[in-house]
Amino acid sequence: MRAPKPSPHPSLTDIQFKPLSMTVRPRKPAAARTDVTDRIRCEFVEMRGFSPTVEQAARLFQVNREECTRILTALVEEGFLRQTADGRYRLPPQQ
């Protein structure tokens, strides 16, 4: 029987690993959060019958669920939106 040929590739024990450096994305400044809130406000005005759930709104507005919940809750508290019994958000009826 013949001896196996040595592999042209290094083995895992021959590889010297380097530490991986990662940067943490900084939190958005308040001005950027205000811009997102203004954009969400405009979307509700432009789409009058729009009544998304938090998950749908987060996807549409491209923000994470927690941030979307905070923004929508703030808009409800200021009276701009209302939350329906099934958890959807919509503009209040025009008077």
- Give me the tens of pLDDT residue by residue for the chain, a chain 95 residues long: 677 777 777 776 777 777 777 676 665 555 556 789 999 999 999 998 899 999 999 999 999 999 999 999 999 999 999 999 999 999 998 74
H or E segment at 79? none
Q: Does domain 30-90 match CATH 2.20.25.90?
A: no
Q: How far apart are CA 90 and CA 48, in angstroms?
A: 8
Yes or no: say if 43 and 91 are a contact pair by the CB < 8 Å rule. no
The pTM of the full predicted model, rounded to 2 decimals, is 0.64
